[in-house]
Homo-oligomer: A and B are copies of this chain.
Amino acid sequence: MQSFGPYLLGFVAIGVALFGLNTARKLFRQVDAVEVDNEKVADIGQQIQDGAMAFLRAEYRVLSVFVVVVAGLLVVATASWQTPVAFLLGAISSVAAGFAGMRAATTANTRTAMAANRSGAGAALLVAYNGGAVMGLCVGGLGLLGIAVMYMVWGHSLDSVQYISGFGMGASSIALFARVGGGIYTKAADVGADLVGKIEAGIPEDDPRNPGVIADNVGDNVGDVAGMGADIFESFVGSIIASIVLGATITASTSGLMFPEGHILTSADRATLMALPVLLALVGFGSSMVGIASMNWLKNSEPAGALRNTTLIGAGLFWVLSFIVLGIFGFPFEPLYAVIVGSIVGILIGLATEYYTSTDKVLGVQTKAVQRIADASKTGPATNAITGLAVGMESVFLPLILITIGIYWSNHAAGLYGIAMAAMGMLATVGVTMTVDAYGPVADNAGGISEMGGLGEDTRKITDSLDSIGNTTAAIGKGFAIGSAALTALALFAAYSSEINRIRLLNNSTEGPLSLELTEPLVVIGLLIGGALPFLVAAMTMTSVGKAAGQMVEEIRRQFREIPGLLEGDPNAKPDSARCVEISTTAALREMILPGLIAVIAPVICGVVLGPAALGGLLAGATATGVLMALFMATAGGAWDNAKKAIEQGKIEGEKKGTDAHSAAVIGDTIGDPFKDTSGPSLNILIKLMSIVALVIVPMIA
């Protein structure tokens, strides 16, 4: 092993990141150049974009207060200016990625609809994909840029490496608020619009008469694009930071096969381990760009395959290039085994969750879960709900086992460092996986716009087909998101524990190394409290959706009642969509505060009052139940949704749209809405944010 020049590596990474961001700019121009020559489409698109950007601005205004206050507190808590500065940079990068992606997505949605209308499926696919790619390249590029800067300034030196955790904390904070706020926004609008529109008034989804439809379409962008982008940005930088901190702190006994037992790690060893994550992120981002570019050649092949192939090209290239680069520069190979273990486990988790949420065969095995829910709908909403909840609870087991297998083998290869590397394996090609993820809501939105803009049956058919591909291809992305959240949280937790010991050693503390023995009552107390936090946050976010949806229902009912001719379709009667957008915005901003604060404050209080051992327990407990609850809620929600779709598509014998079983399935789907789009995804971020807050406050509590 040899040390690698940190500045050279940093500058190369910055260069590649900037190249990627410039590509994003070019792709955006390309998308923007597609002409929108339908006035109605342009108008609707403008309303959606205005609503979405207005929400983002309002959200970031609220968060700027939070960010400034927390930065101030960090000055006190860490007795440094570096951590707060890193925190601010992390937050700003996440915000920038969110803005850019949102702008692109709300530009690409109308263009996709127009391309489908004018030039057919291939052109529409390319526009939607490139819209997603702007988000993917921004998330990957800004992540790599931030990490490279952090690495060059503080992250390559053992004396200052602790400051970079601030960057992760900034990204995680924004991510949690964006996920919770976006999730509340989108589901309040969705549930509200559906309850009055589809069920009470009996008008179709996305009908322009419904005042909640614009808010619903804004919500898709706010929740799925901005929320998910912040989420993945945070995962990406979180896994890299965990790797770097672990590289700086692990001992030979926790490094798996990498170092022989008893070896004392030299500073050259540590420099290698701290450089490796940056190098892999760089290679991963480069490979992603190739994957994204390959869409230009694949666009006319079968669309689902094209989407999948861009991901596979990116991932395959990443593996091959990593082997070559690591070999050339004399890095150890064990971490790469962990990376590969992580990728494989991520793919398998994706397949496992797909097994529970799909009506089709998965790897040749006929799935049954959705069928069970659809069958249970025949005896009413209660049995539908019971079965959906049971399916969700059951579905946690297989992914959990896969995660533990991932932990086992990545730890075998490279110890605790390997666990962080396994998470990196799922996230290194974030540029292309994020592209595919962001493609989904663009295609979904394009469908809604075609419907509202009256672009006709043929266009709608194309956008529907583009939309349905997105759902299938997202499975792998989902597996990566869940698996990487669990592994990143564990890696951060390990980093927290190593960092406590390192600081104690540095300060010649009289306290011995931190004991996180499960027989210590304080550890158990922390474990139990930590375990309860995901339940509390899930409850709060579900309650918020319920409250906000209730307000939305009342407003839509009022408009149908008070605006003459609206429900009858009088062309002069215009719904007051702006009012609905405002309700969702206000509710989301108000309701996101408390869950976000809990995530930041709980570790601090626990660490200060009960000490670092209890905080360690808290993190472990929160990670365990957080992963379980996130899986439970996401899968149950997805399965309910698809059970309803299965009935609508005539896949369930004797049932179709409008039967009692279908009504029961619609109820199940509505229960699942906050499960899968608000509470579930929030928990993935919650556990990482708590871990990184703990890591940041180590100087205060060690």
Contact = CB atoms under 8 A, between A and B. Distances in A.
A494 interface: yes
A394 B519 CA distance: 27
A519 B532 contact: no
A699 interface: no
B393 A535 contact: yes
Nearest to A542: B390
Interface string A487-530: 00010011001100000000000000001111101011101110
A620 interface: yes
A50 to B, nearest CB: 29
A628 B535 contact: yes
A339 B529 CA distance: 22
A387 interface: yes
Contact of A519 (B382, B393, B516): B516
Interface residues of A, number: 75
A416 B379 contact: no
A416 B519 contact: yes
Contacts of A519: 254, 416, 493-494, 497-498, 516
A543 B407 contact: no
A383 B188 CA distance: 12
Contacts of A482: none
A678 to B, nearest CB: 10
Main secondary structure of the interface of A (DSSP, over half): helix
A423 interface: no
A401 B609 CA distance: 14
Given A195-B379, A383-B550, A531-B625, 18 more contacts: A381-B667, A383-B546, A383-B670, A386-B670, A386-B674, A389-B542, A391-B539, A393-B535, A400-B529, A404-B528, A404-B529, A486-B528, A490-B524, A494-B519, A516-B518, A518-B620, A524-B620, A535-B628
Counting from the closest, the 8 A-B pairs by CB-CB distance are: A382-B670, A394-B539, A393-B539, A516-B518, A390-B542, A411-B521, A531-B624, A400-B532
Interface of A: 191, 195, 199, 254, 376, 379-383, 385-387, 389-394, 396-397, 400-401, 403-404, 407-408, 411, 416, 419, 486, 490, 493-494, 497-498, 515-519, 521, 523-525, 527-529, 531-532, 535-536, 538-540, 542-543, 545-546, 549-550, 553, 616-617, 620-621, 624-625, 627-628, 632, 667, 670-671, 674
27 contacts: A195-B379, A195-B380, A254-B519, A380-B667, A381-B381, A382-B670, A382-B671, A385-B671, A386-B542, A386-B546, A386-B670, A386-B671, A387-B546, A390-B538, A390-B543, A394-B539, A396-B535, A396-B536, A400-B528, A400-B532, A408-B521, A486-B528, A515-B517, A518-B617, A528-B627, A621-B624, A625-B628
